[in-house]
Structure 1
Amino acid sequence: MAQGRGRDRRSEPNFDVPEGRVAAPGALDLRLSRQDRAGGGVAETGAKRGAVASGRKASGGRRAPARKAAKRRGSFLGRMAYGVLVLGLWGLIGIAGLVAYHASQLPPIDQLSVPKRPPNIAILASDGSLLANRGETGGRVVSIKELPPYLPRAFVAIEDRRFYSHFGVDPVGIARAIGQNLTRRGVAQGGSTLTQQLAKNLFLTPERSASRKIQEAILALWLEHKYTKDEILELYLNRVYFGAGAYGVEAAAQRYFGKPAKSVSLAEAAMLGGLVQAPSRLAPNRNLPAAQARAAQVLAAMQELGFVPAQDVKVALAQAARPASSRGGGSANYVADLVMDVLDDFVGKFESDIVVQTTVDTGLQAAAEKALVDELNRQGTRYNVHQGALVSMKPDGAIRALIGGRDYAQSQFNRATTAKRQPGSAFKPFVYLAAIERGATPDTVREDAPIKIGSWQPENYSHRYEGAVTLRTALALSLNTVAVRLGQEVGPKAVVQTAQRLGISSALQANGSIALGTSEVTPLEMVGAYGAFANGGIGVIPYVVASVKSTDGKVLYKRGEGGLGRVIDPNAVGMMNAMMHETFVIGTAKKGDIPGWDLAGKTGTSQDFRDAWFIGYSGSLVTGVWLGNDDGEPTKKASGGNLPVDIWKTYMTTALKGQTPVPLPGLNRWRKAPETTASVAAAGGPGEILGQIFGTAPQAAPQPQAPAPRRRQAEPQQDRNFFEKLFGIGE
């Protein structure tokens, strides 16, 4: 049993053979010999044959070195190929890691979305034409389908000719750009596709770095996966920057050519396509030769790609695009600024484009701008007048034209709505209305004679006094002492309350000088207040916004009936219109008369000729003009009766042309028969008119008291003849 158990006992194999010792006989040897390996025998035989052959060659002399050299060359090339392969693999791994790292800095792909474009506010005239765009972009979103085909093709031709064949990143374009950059001084070209440019505009900062380029490529691949080519191109055309605050082709077309993008010509499309490379350097309104040269390159590229026929390119080159001129920097921008000031009152927060319909008439706006600018260009230097404003509205308060300054490009300050200036005698109708409402009539007589209130002694500009005059004549001739007397009779507070009832919202000082217009107001307030005289006594709230809609037509706001209600009794309106009508008959605005129309109004001049006003109206339109200097510097005797009346008549002649005359409410009942020569001379009218024209208009501030003169007698016959010739009195 012991022997049996001994024979059955198995020993664990031992694979370790001590170094330097030979395995004992019978021990298990598991090491592989050359013969045990696959092909070992063949390898051994070959090795032996090689040794023999080597011996023969060594002894024979020539073939052995050649074979060794070939073996070395093959070994070197193999090692080199292997090294390149390894380096390539590591390079790919490194690039993949780099891409993965920069991708990790971006939001997760499933959370990526194209950011909303800031909303545009399209501001339209009453006829639907565009006045201006407001918002961060400067123009509305346009569909690629509404654009002429050559417009998007211009961008593809010059910026990314392989746009429709690449996958967002263009290796061929990158290689070409690198090649051209190596052969030119500086960076000649970039390899960014339109998709990459869009990705940069949508998601990234403008910094130029390798990191940003990698992220740009990643985002471009995502865009290509998410959108079609036309959708990408449409996004690009609506987001790319064209300079001058214009983002997108619609904003650029309006900014540079004064037309919508759908209406641009081939030459203009080529100029827009070339502009995006360097908006500030290639802007056509700043560097027209460079813009036209770049447009020619775009046209050549379009012809080369077959986008447009050669004949069309020839015509476009012959009729190169030019920027549209915008006289005065575009006075419609004053209207747009007013719209933006009041828009929050009508609509809340909005995230998509909206359309604001205004009450402004483009023809009247242009006529108003031309009348104001031309007169200032012609006589502004002579009278030392540098600025002006004009407001024109329908009697219900709908603004038809608004000019806030001489040149919007030079100054965006809106003098029509914001500048508060002394209205001078243009404020007197509120004094007279307060008196009428307390029993006076146009034929009520008051004394035009020296008056003293405390230490204040107001005078007429002529320093002459007419004695007993009717209120009709006193207002037409703008006699200061009569206005002050009426103000004292009704009380300064009543004058203030009357003006406020008619719509004056600026702070008014209830003192004696309020009768001469010493409290500051805006032109818009004054024109609005006069509207109640033109419409028969209904208080007016001036307005410019008629409706607000979304681009899909949804009405967000629509103006309804509104106003201050009746603020003047109809009979009082008739008396006021009759008195202010005399301003055009015998008074300070006689040269502003327009044949065939019943007109009424009042001139105004503030202390030291700092402000010159005229506000006049027909039964269909109320217009006010202010002239002066922003810093309050006195003019050289510019009064309400000269430059403002000239501007008013020029504009109103155009505005009323072709219309059927509308009667002034209540005028016929209180209209006075035409003055005779003798009666006007007796009233001293021509002397006051002469004072207005030559700078002696009524003055609002106190003047030193001259010795009380005797009542002025009728002018000598020779003087009367002079006045008759000068003013047409008695004709």
Structure 2
Amino acid sequence: MEKRGSRRKKAARSEMARRAEGDRPQGSWRRWLRKIMIWGGSLALLGALFLGLAVAFAARSMPSFYQLKATQTAQTIVVRARDGTEIVAIGPSYGKWLSSDQIPQVMKNAMVAVEDRRFYMHPGVDPYGLARAVYVAITGDKRVSATSTITQQLARNVFLNNNRSLDRKAREMILAMALEAKFSKEQILELYLNKVYFGGGAYGIDSASRNFFSHPATELSTAEAAIIAGLVKAPSRYSPTADVDAAVGRASVVLRLMKEQGMIAPDVTVDPSAVNLKEEKGQNSVRYFTDWALPQLDLLLPETFEPIEVWTTLDTGMQRAATAAIKGNVPGGAQGALVSLDRDGAILALVGGTDYVETSYNRATDALRQPGSSWKLFVYLAALEAGYTPDDRVVDTPVTIDGWSPRNSSGRNVGEIDVRTAFAYSINTVAAQLGNEVGFGTVASMAKRFGITTPIKTYPSMVLGSNEVRLIDMTRAFAVLSAKGASVEPYGIVKVTTAGGKLLYQHERRRSSQLVADYVAAGMTDLLQTAVNTGTGRAAQIGRPVAGKTGTTSSNKDGYFVGFSSGITTGVWMGRDDSKKVGGLQGGTAPAKAFAAYMRYAVKDRPVEEFDTDLKLPEWQLEPDDEYMLGDPDDYYFVDEQGNLIEPGEPQGPRDDPFGDAQPGPGEAQRPGRGADGAPQAVGDDFLDEATGARRDRRPRPSQTPTPQPSIEIIRPR
């Protein structure tokens, strides 16, 4: 019995020891958890205290509701042309201030539904939306939206700018909570709906209603309220005066959200496409230019809300000529665009479409289209830099590169020609051979060097312009040739001043760099000039030297012409927005004609400038100088028939030709290795030919050289 009791005690002690050992790590884990919770709670408490103090301080220093009503923060901008004349005034248009009880409830519901569905529940910052924003920042998942609350948007519109930074976002959140602490939800919504920007210069719902529907906001229908609410996300993109379809599509999204949130009965049908829009007079195409230039002010200027004047590079006469040239030559159903640069990169004219009111989409700066054969500029630049010259001989023959077989537009191959002719007539097989020889990556690098900003794929057909580009980038590339190879940076803003004349910004020309050697630029200009004089760009002639290149894509979807004269470089594109075929459209037809129509006006007050196409090749590219390699012929020693040495320059007897190069008379046969008198020569014919250069004189001319027919070969006669 005692032994049994002893065994039980030992077993109990062992069990207790095992439990104690098992409890040790668990107790340690709990202690660390407790510490983390204490420290985390302390930090959270300090953060909350700091945030509360910041919000309280912001709320205390914030203007009153009536002060905010009286303050208009929108900026008035006067845009001036290069001669100082006012071309457009862009500024706020304010309607009548509507109190909360005057604003239709459907307008409030529409705005809350699309911009901030938890508006009536959050304290200015939506925790769910904040978590979503953090998720987007970490994962970069653009499918998940991360918008600000209505209160945050109001804080940004009234107190801050649109710069994207963590500092600005933090201040926006503090100010939003301060607004919520100081004002009621109805007051915040009233301020928001009377101050938010709806596009077209309209600030507030009353101004937007009058601008778009010709009646005050107190009379807004459900469909009209949905259209206005949909504008806040992107005023220019969804403007009903710029793109009706986009505005209606966005309004449909707003209506769907209102139904989902119970603001509209599910069985109610609303048709935003039936809304009667206010007729708007046509706007000058200058708006294409201002749409491109004015957003740059956010980067050029310090934060300011005072009225400013923006002095630009635009020439009003050239802008009118450019607009007329596009409208007068664009094929029916197609669109057109034009960019014109001065030699320093200043934009003289910019047309983004045929009608700004019909569509504000800027095809000159935003559209990505294939440039066709105008892309061959980079192929031939790479070839010239690799050592080719305009006079080198190449062969137009069927070729296949990595399974790709390009064809000429004529369907024929003409055999041996020079580089100049191949470029002037835009022969595809030669461009393909040159691109293959220098390397498609080299062609892509050349395009990037000349300012192409879009991605470039290096498959073989890229030499014919299959990569999509922007018209402004292609125009910039050609402008480099106009500047004899120096870099060019397009710009549109010369200076910005306050209304009182204080200078806020002054354009400073960047230091240019030489992108290609002088002889490469001269050779390329030679090719471009020939393309206009005798090649595919003949329609671009204007009675003075012009250099340029046409471009036509497959099925006539795009037509390009880019060229320069007298220091002005102009690019023209034409085609349909849906990329469908345009009958008869070629780069050498409508685009070249529009180029000529505009350029005749653009250069009329400029002196005629001849192009520098004189090729001053570097030593490594010159033909070998045989006499220099072998020395001066006067330094050679010869022997007479008796074997006596003859000093250099010493008379050598009655023979007129001491080198034995005299031609035999009629009927005389000159045997190899003998002089004119039949006596044996002291030196061989080969040596004499090398010494006198006779071998080079006796070479057959290029036209006598047999034409080889390999699949891919470039013939370079010495």
Q: Smaller-chain TM-score range?
A: 0.5 to 0.7
Q: Which residue of 2 aligns with 1:650?
A: 597
Seen in structure 2, the aligned counterparts of structure 1 residues 109 and 521 have a Cα distance that, compared at 3 Å, is: closer
2:70 aligned counterpart, secondary structure: coil
Q: Which residue of 2 aligns with 1:558?
A: 506
* Residue 344 (structure 1) shift: 2.0
Q: String of CA shifts for 1:302-321, please: whole Å, max 9, x gaps.
A: xxxxxxxxxxxxxxxxxxxx
Q: Which residue of 2 aligns with 1:361?
A: 315
For 2:438 and 2:343, locate their aligned partners in 1 and report how far apart those are by CA, in whole Å.
Answer: 28
* Residue 112 (structure 1) shift: 7.5
The answer to whether the aligner puts 1:487 opposite 2:423 as a matched pair is no
Q: Which residue of 1 aligns with 2:575?
A: 628
Q: String of CA shifts for 1:384-431, please: whole Å, max 9, x gaps.
A: x51110011112211000000111101111000010111110000111
* TM-score in terms of structure 1 length: 0.51
Q: String of CA shifts for 1:693-719, please: whole Å, max 9, x gaps.
A: xxxxxxxxxxxxxxx9xxxxxxxxxxx
Q: Which residue of 1 aligns with 2:71?
A: 115
* Residue 667 (structure 1) shift: 5.6
What amino acid does structure 2 have at the position aligned with 1:522? R
Q: Which residue of 1 aligns with 2:716?
A: none
1:547 aligned counterpart, secondary structure: strand
Seen in structure 2, the aligned counterparts of structure 1 residues 549 and 206 have a Cα distance that, compared at 3 Å, is: farther
What amino acid does structure 2 have at the position aligned with 1:369? T
For 1:393 and 1:324, locate their aligned partners in 2 and report how far apart those are by CA, in whole Å.
Answer: 34
1:538 aligned counterpart, secondary structure: coil
* Residue 432 (structure 1) shift: 0.5
Task: Select 2:86's aligned residue among 123, 130, 150.
Answer: 130
What amino acid does structure 1 have at the position aligned with 2:575? G
User: Quick check: 1:541–1:563 contact (8 Å CA) kept in 2?
Assistant: no
2:357 aligned counterpart, secondary structure: coil
Seen in structure 2, the aligned counterparts of structure 1 residues 278 and 578 have a Cα distance that, compared at 3 Å, is: farther
Q: Which residue of 1 aligns with 2:26?
A: none
Q: Which residue of 2 aligns with 1:437?
A: 385
User: Quick check: 1:120–1:138 contact (8 Å CA) kept in 2?
Assistant: no
* Residue 659 (structure 1) shift: 2.1
The within-5 A match list for 1:542-553 is: 542-553=490-501
Task: Select 1:639's aligned residue among 570, 586, 591.
Answer: 586
Task: Select 1:618's aligned residue among 554, 561, 565.
Answer: 565
Q: Which residue of 2 aligns with 1:407?
A: 355
* Residue 247 (structure 1) shift: 7.5
Count of residue pairs brought into register by the alignment: 410
User: Quick check: 1:395–1:622 contact (8 Å CA) kept in 2?
Assistant: yes
What amino acid does structure 1 have at the position aligned with 2:71? P
* Residue 111 (structure 1) shift: 6.3
* Residue 666 (structure 1) shift: 3.8
* Residue 330 (structure 1) shift: 1.8
The answer to whether the aligner puts 1:375 opposite 2:322 as a matched pair is no
* Residue 279 (structure 1) shift: 13
What amino acid does structure 1 have at the position aligned with 2:574? L
For 2:510 and 2:309, locate their aligned partners in 1 and report how far apart those are by CA, in whole Å.
Answer: 22
What amino acid does structure 2 have at the position aligned with 1:435? A
For 1:341 and 1:244, locate their aligned partners in 2 and report how far apart those are by CA, in whole Å.
Answer: 15
For 1:515 and 1:610, locate their aligned partners in 2 and report how far apart those are by CA, in whole Å.
Answer: 18
User: Quick check: 1:535–1:619 contact (8 Å CA) kept in 2?
Assistant: no
Q: Which residue of 2 aligns with 1:516?
A: 464
Q: Which residue of 1 aligns with 2:553?
A: 606
What amino acid does structure 1 have at the position aligned with 2:547? A
* Residue 519 (structure 1) shift: 0.5
For 2:572 and 2:566, locate their aligned partners in 1 and report how far apart those are by CA, in whole Å.
Answer: 18
User: Quick check: 1:617–1:623 contact (8 Å CA) kept in 2?
Assistant: yes
Seen in structure 2, the aligned counterparts of structure 1 residues 279 and 590 have a Cα distance that, compared at 3 Å, is: farther
2:592 aligned counterpart, secondary structure: helix
Seen in structure 2, the aligned counterparts of structure 1 residues 406 and 563 have a Cα distance that, compared at 3 Å, is: farther
For 2:485 and 2:319, locate their aligned partners in 1 and report how far apart those are by CA, in whole Å.
Answer: 27
User: Quick check: 2:314–2:349 contact (8 Å CA) kept in 1?
Assistant: yes
* Residue 631 (structure 1) shift: 0.8
* Residue 278 (structure 1) shift: 11
What amino acid does structure 1 have at the position aligned with 2:487? G
Task: Select 1:451's aligned residue among 385, 396, 399.
Answer: 399
* Residue 539 (structure 1) shift: 1.1
Seen in structure 2, the aligned counterparts of structure 1 residues 107 and 441 have a Cα distance that, compared at 3 Å, is: closer
* Residue 117 (structure 1) shift: 3.8
Q: Which runs of 5+ in 1 are unaligned?
A: 1-105, 140-196, 210-238, 257-273, 281-285, 287-322, 671-681, 683-707, 709-731
Q: String of CA shifts for 1:334-382, please: whole Å, max 9, x gaps.
A: 0110013322221243211222111010000000001101223xxx23x
What amino acid does structure 1 have at the position aligned with 2:601? T
Task: Select 2:289's aligned residue among 305, 330, 335.
Answer: 335
What amino acid does structure 2 have at the position aligned with 1:125? A
* Residue 669 (structure 1) shift: 7.6
* Residue 434 (structure 1) shift: 0.5
* Residue 608 (structure 1) shift: 1.3
What amino acid does structure 1 have at the position aligned with 2:551? G
* Residue 553 (structure 1) shift: 1.7
1:539 aligned counterpart, secondary structure: coil
Q: String of CA shifts for 1:597-646, please: whole Å, max 9, x gaps.
A: 21100000111111100001013100010000111101113110111111
* Residue 132 (structure 1) shift: 2.7
* TM-score in terms of structure 2 length: 0.52
Seen in structure 2, the aligned counterparts of structure 1 residues 109 and 530 have a Cα distance that, compared at 3 Å, is: closer
* Residue 513 (structure 1) shift: 1.2
User: Quick check: 1:430–1:495 contact (8 Å CA) kept in 2?
Assistant: yes
Q: String of CA shifts for 1:551-607, please: whole Å, max 9, x gaps.
A: 222222111021551101111111111111001211011132121x21100000111
1:390 aligned counterpart, secondary structure: strand
Q: Which residue of 1 aligns with 2:338?
A: 390
Q: Which residue of 2 aligns with 1:347?
A: 301
* Residue 449 (structure 1) shift: 0.6
2:572 aligned counterpart, secondary structure: strand
Task: Select 2:375's aligned residue among 427, 452, 459.
Answer: 427
For 1:467 and 1:432, locate their aligned partners in 2 and report how far apart those are by CA, in whole Å.
Answer: 19
The within-5 A match list for 1:708-727 is: none
For 2:343 and 2:587, locate their aligned partners in 1 and report how far apart those are by CA, in whole Å.
Answer: 22
2:376 aligned counterpart, secondary structure: helix
For 1:615 and 1:110, locate their aligned partners in 2 and report how far apart those are by CA, in whole Å.
Answer: 57
* Residue 495 (structure 1) shift: 0.3
User: Quick check: 2:104–2:218 contact (8 Å CA) kept in 1?
Assistant: no
For 1:529 and 1:334, locate their aligned partners in 2 and report how far apart those are by CA, in whole Å.
Answer: 21
User: Quick check: 2:519–2:615 contact (8 Å CA) kept in 1?
Assistant: no
User: Quick check: 1:532–1:568 contact (8 Å CA) kept in 2?
Assistant: no
For 2:489 and 2:63, locate their aligned partners in 1 and report how far apart those are by CA, in whole Å.
Answer: 51
For 1:579 and 1:112, locate their aligned partners in 2 and report how far apart those are by CA, in whole Å.
Answer: 64
Seen in structure 2, the aligned counterparts of structure 1 residues 114 and 492 have a Cα distance that, compared at 3 Å, is: same
Seen in structure 2, the aligned counterparts of structure 1 residues 132 and 452 have a Cα distance that, compared at 3 Å, is: same
For 1:481 and 1:109, locate their aligned partners in 2 and report how far apart those are by CA, in whole Å.
Answer: 73
Q: Which runs of 5+ in 2 are unaligned?
A: 1-61, 106-194, 221-240, 242-277, 618-702, 704-710, 712-718
1:645 aligned counterpart, secondary structure: helix
User: Quick check: 1:598–1:661 contact (8 Å CA) kept in 2?
Assistant: yes
Q: Which residue of 1 aligns with 2:426?
A: 478
For 2:419 and 2:583, locate their aligned partners in 1 and report how far apart those are by CA, in whole Å.
Answer: 30
For 2:580 and 2:608, locate their aligned partners in 1 and report how far apart those are by CA, in whole Å.
Answer: 40
What amino acid does structure 2 have at the position aligned with 1:610? K
1:475 aligned counterpart, secondary structure: helix
Seen in structure 2, the aligned counterparts of structure 1 residues 430 and 126 have a Cα distance that, compared at 3 Å, is: same
User: Quick check: 1:388–1:626 contact (8 Å CA) kept in 2?
Assistant: yes
Q: Which residue of 1 aligns with 2:234?
A: none
The answer to whether the aligner puts 1:660 opposite 2:607 as a matched pair is yes
